Amino acid sequence: MSEMNDAFRDSIGTVTSEGKRNWIFPKHPKGKFYNARTIVTVLYLIVFFTLPWVKVNGEPLFLFNILEQKFILFGQIFWPQDFFIFGFTMLTFLVFIVLFTVVFGRVFCGWVCPQTIFMEMVFRKIEYWIEGDADKQRALSKMPWNQEKIAKRSIKFIVFFSLSFIIANYFLAYLVGMDRVMLYVREGIFLHLSVFIPLVMFAGVFFFVFWWFREQACIIVCPYGRLQGVMLDTNSIVVAYDYVRGEPRSKFKKHRGEEEQVGDCVDCFECVKVCPTGIDIRNGTQLECVNCTACIDACDAIMTKFNRPIGLIKYASESNIAKGEKTKFTIRTKAYTAVLVLLLVILGVLLFSRKDIQTNVMRAQGMLYQEQPNNQISNIYNITMVNKTRKDIPITLKLEDPEIKGTVKVMGKSLVLPKEAMGNGIFIIYIDRDKLKKRNNKIRIGVYSGNEKIDVVKTTFLAPGS
């Protein structure tokens, strides 16, 4: 890191010297990164507000019903029996986060995190529309409660709370499905007070975060932000100030004719004025930086004004800056990226190759084999099956090994697996004694729905032995 004064570490931008909240009024960012983030936000919101309406075979595309333990990803229902996939997903997610952060820093925070998207690109934009840019907001906050202030704050309150309530409803739709949310709406709040009251409370939490708590969520609450210190290293790509080029900074270089001795930073503080977390990125990578890129845009505009190359603040690693190199993919970055892609591929294969019917066969407890009158040997089995699909499935069982001529007889009624449920039964396998050479014979049982083989289960068949 640059040899800078570390005094900035003694305080944080959002707290005054008296320990009170220092309200941040970030200037409206403008520039190519902000435009790109606006496009990403529009796509993000389209996806967020559309997905709960999308259905596959009458079921939501995504559902995270924790209470009823029903999870649907890309239209596929996941059961508690799919726990290993869930576990692997969590593990992949953790490794992904660590590797992704080591390589790309907090790109996630700036471009994808719902907190940043909703705060900076939705609620903050609305605030600019209602209250104006930073200077006007500052003036408004100092104003007595006159007509203008009451009107603007009232409009902001109504819009912020309405939007928070809509967002809370959509989160509920991701939990219980849009059909159920629409049912609650049709039947009215009095019939569903137990849902409506928590919903309003959640809307209240969202409102509180976007109205007042704001950047504190990233600085104080978010565990991901607090882990940056251990995950980032000098090769991580972050939003960084090129101190080699920028220092020594000087406001007055033009007037003093000392252009050669000073760096490119004209100390205009534009990068600080736009920062939603109130930091000065020139002090180096800091916990508060959510990589929102607003300071890049602000500084690029200043550099353009002063006829200097843009990129004094840019996506770069500490090593890039120290060595004066351009940001590039190192071998390490490529290797980590390859691991990330591999993990995602494995997870994708696991998700999409997962069986719709899960079968478990065990020989009946305490039973060895039974000698049958027609020179056959029989074994009794218990079968447990989980039907993860949305239709009832009639099941037939067949022996898969052609050299063992045997028959399978299901006890009681024929096996029909009800949709989205577990079923079990008992069946007996009969095999001619002369086909059984050993005491312990490995056999494979095919599980069929009509002519479609949906699973094969391996088990053993006990015989008297030679």
The residue from 72, 268, 287, 426 that contacts ligand SF4 (CB under 6 A) is 268
Residue of 216, 167, 176, 243 lying closest to 14 (CA atoms): 216
Residues 104, 317: contact at Cβ < 8 Å? Answer: no
Does residue 247 belong to the site contacting ligand SF4 (CB under 6 A)? no
Which part of the chain contacts ligand SF4 (CB under 6 A), choosing from 147-155, 264-272, 346-354, 375-383?
264-272
The residue from 121, 279, 393, 462 that contacts ligand SF4 (CB under 6 A) is 279
Which part of the chain contacts ligand SF4 (CB under 6 A), choosing from 55-63, 145-153, 259-267, 427-435?
259-267
Does residue 277 belong to the site contacting ligand SF4 (CB under 6 A)? yes
Does residue 117 belong to the site contacting ligand SF4 (CB under 6 A)? no
Q: Which x/- pattern, by CB under 6 A, does the window 427-446 give for ligand SF4?
A: --------------------
Does residue 294 belong to the site contacting ligand SF4 (CB under 6 A)? yes
Residues 140, 271: contact at Cβ < 8 Å? Answer: no
Residue of 347, 348, 346, 359 lying closest to 388 (CA atoms): 359
Does residue 239 belong to the site contacting ligand SF4 (CB under 6 A)? yes
Does residue 108 belong to the site contacting ligand SF4 (CB under 6 A)? no
CB atoms within 10 A of CB 409: 11
Residues 293, 274: contact at Cβ < 8 Å? Answer: no
- Phi/psi of residue 101, nearest 5 degrees: -70, -40
Does residue 262 belong to the site contacting ligand SF4 (CB under 6 A)? no
Which part of the chain contacts ligand SF4 (CB under 6 A), choosing from 223-231, 287-295, 335-343, 455-463?
287-295
Does residue 122 belong to the site contacting ligand SF4 (CB under 6 A)? no
Which part of the chain contacts ligand SF4 (CB under 6 A), choosing from 57-65, 142-150, 156-164, 291-299?
291-299
The residue from 103, 163, 167, 281 that contacts ligand SF4 (CB under 6 A) is 281
Residue of 11, 12, 29 lying closest to 271 (CA atoms): 29
The three-state secondary structure class of 273 is helix
- Phi/psi of residue 420, nearest 5 degrees: 50, 40
The residue from 266, 386, 415, 454 that contacts ligand SF4 (CB under 6 A) is 266
Shortest Å distance, C-beta 1 to ligand SF4 = 15
Query: Can the peptide bond before residue 248 be classed as cis, meaning omega within 30 degrees of 0?
Result: yes
Longest dimension (CA), the chain: 112
Q: Which x/- pattern, by CB under 6 A, does the window 313-332 give for ligand SF4?
A: x-------------------
Cα gap 259→250, rounded to integer Å: 9
Cα gap 432→453, rounded to integer Å: 25
CA dihedral over 301, 303, 308, 311, signed as positive or negative: negative
The residue from 269, 351, 400, 455 that contacts ligand SF4 (CB under 6 A) is 269
The residue from 282, 314, 354, 388 that contacts ligand SF4 (CB under 6 A) is 282
Cα gap 81→329, rounded to integer Å: 41
For ligand SF4 (CB under 6 A), the number of binding residues is: 30
Q: CA–CA distance from 139 to each of 135, 142, 422 (Å)?
A: 6, 5, 65
The residue from 176, 265, 316, 445 that contacts ligand SF4 (CB under 6 A) is 265
Structure tokens at 279: 């930091």
CB atoms within 10 A of CB 440: 10
Nearby residues of 335 by Cβ (< 8 Å), 6 or more positions away: none
Does residue 218 belong to the site contacting ligand SF4 (CB under 6 A)? no
Does residue 298 belong to the site contacting ligand SF4 (CB under 6 A)? yes
Does residue 449 belong to the site contacting ligand SF4 (CB under 6 A)? no
Does residue 292 belong to the site contacting ligand SF4 (CB under 6 A)? yes
Instruction: Kindly state the helix (H) or strand (E) to which residue 397 belongs, with its residue range.
Output: strand 393-399
Residue 296 vs 443, nearer CB to ligand SF4: 296
Which stretches of the chain bind ligand SF4, using CB under 6 A?
239, 241, 246, 249, 265-271, 274-277, 279, 281-282, 289-295, 298-299, 302, 312-313
